[in-house]
């Protein structure tokens, strides 16, 4: 059984590497664009989106990438897509935002496999797409998607599904006083399926965070679709409009059928 699981993990790794090579050899962005967005127009997002990422990260396994997006014409933010061109799976996270968000701020930590352009594509409520990009240089060392998880395997397994949530006020010129900032820390190894066990020489099967849903009371703040590029123990920092609800509920799901939900108290004033 273990050999079969290892073989399945190896096959997944080979397929992901093949996909990566296809994108890289074909001119990554144009290939990705067509497969993800088809023939839709994508406008220059400067003036709407600010993308922040380190030029040369200290650790390619956990690179903080953030966006701030704002519409001032009555439209709202429908989705935010994070992309890393040279990763095995270039679409690394898609955030489906709650209602009536004309401004959005999101930060998360991602695995960047090699030097690559990183991109943020924001979809407006009318369906228009806007994009900004930035080059992130390779800091050296092992490719992040094939790097083993950090920590003791037994401890990683014991802590899987644990969560923490912290809330603070947002102080930004021109923003509503009802905005707060949330920080979610999730315990999950987010196995890529590309890591070989040096003792057994078998690949650790892929077991990734597939979905994170955050709700304030009954109102969705966002639903995020994950990928193998989410870092081990993903962190998501986001802003949200306070509604007066007393709880923030967070649900994490993974590709093995795991599901964890926890509710945290959230005050009306941040």
pLDDT tens-digit profile of 172-219? 655 545 789 999 999 999 999 888 776 677 788 899 999 999 999 999
Q: Give residue-wise pLDDT tens across range 120-133.
A: 999 999 999 999 99
CA distance 184 to 165: 5
HSE-CB of 8 using CA atoms within 13 angstroms: 8
CA distance 61 to 94: 19
Phi, psi of 16, deg, nearest 5: -65, -40
Q: Quick one: DSSP state of residue 144?
A: G
Tokens of 144: 């992040």
Sign of CA dihedral 46, 48, 53, 54: positive
Parse the chain into domains and list their residue ranges: 2-265
pLDDT of residue 171: 67
Domain covering 2-265 in this structure, CATH number: 2.60.40.2470
Q: Residue 175: which of 242, 108, 94 has the closest Cα?
A: 242
Q: Give residue-wise pLDDT tens across range 227-251.
A: 999 999 999 999 998 888 999 999 9
Q: Give residue-wise pLDDT tens across range 33-57.
A: 999 999 999 999 999 999 999 999 9
Tell me the pTM.
Answer: 0.86
pLDDT of residue 29: 93
The residue written with tokens 């395997």 in the block is 153
Percent of the chain surpassing pLDDT 90: 69
Confidence of residue 269 (pLDDT cuts 50, 70, 90): low
DSSP assignment of 196-232 equals B-TTT--BPPPB-EEEEEEEETTEEEEEEE--TTBPS
Q: Residue 70: which of 246, 239, 197 has the closest Cα?
A: 239
33 and 42 in contact (C-beta within 8 Å)?
yes
Q: Residue 113: which of 8, 23, 224 has the closest Cα?
A: 23
Is pLDDT at 98 greater than 70 in this prediction?
yes
CA distance 75 to 54: 30
> CA angle, 99 as apex, 98 and 101 as ends, to 5°?
90
Least confident of 18-22, 122-126, 157-161, 256-260: 18-22
CA distance 110 to 120: 13
H/E stretch holding 179: strand 179-186
């Amino acid at each position: 059984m273990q050999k079969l699981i290892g073989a399945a993990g190896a096959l997944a790794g080979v397929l992901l590497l093949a996909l990566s090579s296809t994108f890289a050899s074909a001119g990554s962005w144009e290939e990705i664009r067509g497969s993800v967005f088809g023939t839709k127009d994508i406008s220059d997002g400067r003036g709407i989106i600010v993308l922040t990422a380190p030029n040369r990260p200290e650790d390619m396994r956990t690179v903080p990438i953030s966006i701030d997006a704002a519409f001032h014409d009555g439209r709202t933010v429908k989705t935010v897509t994070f992309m890393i061109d040279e990763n095995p799976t270039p679409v690394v996270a898609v955030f489906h935002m709650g209602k009536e968000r004309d401004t959005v701020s999101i930060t998360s930590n991602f695995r960047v496999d090699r030097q690559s352009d990183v991109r943020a594509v924001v979809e407006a409520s009318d369906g228009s797409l806007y994009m900004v990009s930035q080059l992130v240089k390779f800091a050296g060392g092992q490719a992040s998607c094939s790097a083993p998880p950090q920590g003791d395997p037994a401890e990683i397994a014991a802590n899987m599904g644990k969560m923490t949530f912290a809330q603070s006020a947002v102080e930004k010129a021109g923003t509503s006083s009802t905005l707060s900032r949330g920080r979610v820390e999730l315990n999950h190894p987010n196995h890529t399926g590309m890591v070989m066990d040096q003792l057994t020489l078998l690949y650790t099967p892929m077991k990734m965070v597939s979905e994170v849903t955050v709700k304030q009371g009954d109102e969705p703040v966002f639903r995020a679709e994950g990928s193998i590029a989410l870092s081990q123990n993903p962190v998501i920092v986001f802003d949200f409009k306070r509604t007066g609800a007393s709880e923030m509920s967070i649900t994490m799901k993974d590709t093995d059928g795991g599901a964890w939900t926890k509710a945290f108290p959230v005050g009306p004033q941040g």
